[in-house]
């Protein structure tokens, strides 16, 4: 199977948000595709909702996960990188300009399978901007061919 062309997968995403004392939980299942290039896996799908933003998870082994939401031609475009126990600065492009944000990732678990294609990533992260704590987040990505 030519993995460079993409394998259709079912994507399940769950997020937990704790922001300004408000807690939210979201989950959805969408069709997507996985492309594997060397040790890097790209999981792509279209986020449900009004904006239909394209989302890509770039999974670099168990070391780093990058979440890319929107595309450079959208008003909203964010690229967050998660590296376990590290703080990483990211750019959040909004209709009002670019906001630098920091992600701190206390916990990240990644498991990937080739036969059949599938995997999961669980990420706990904190987001801050200009030294101000924005919120605590948990993210679970599951995908299976």
At 76-92, the pLDDT tens digits run 788 999 999 999 998 88
pTM confidence score = 0.89
- Residue 1: what pLDDT? 43
At 86-141, the pLDDT tens digits run 999 988 888 888 889 999 999 999 999 988 899 999 999 999 998 899 999 999 99
DSSP track, 83-119: ETT-EEEEEEEETTEEEEEEEEEEEEEEEEETTTTEE
């Amino acid at each position: 199977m030519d993995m460079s062309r993409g394998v259709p997968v079912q994507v399940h995403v769950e997020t937990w948000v704790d922001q300004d004392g408000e807690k939210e939980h979201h989950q959805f299942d969408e069709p997507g595709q996985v492309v594997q290039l060397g040790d890097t896996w790209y999981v792509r799908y279209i986020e449900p909702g009004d904006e239909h933003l394209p989302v890509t998870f770039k999974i670099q082994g168990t070391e780093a996960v990058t979440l890319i939401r929107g595309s450079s031609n959208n008003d909203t475009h964010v690229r967050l990188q998660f590296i376990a126990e590290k703080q990483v600065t990211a750019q959040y492009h909004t209709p009002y300009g670019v906001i630098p944000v920091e992600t701190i990732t206390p916990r990240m678990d990644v498991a990937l399978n080739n036969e059949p294609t599938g995997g999961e990533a669980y990420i706990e992260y904190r987001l801050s901007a200009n030294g101000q704590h924005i919120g605590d987040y948990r993210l679970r990505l599951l995908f299976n061919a």
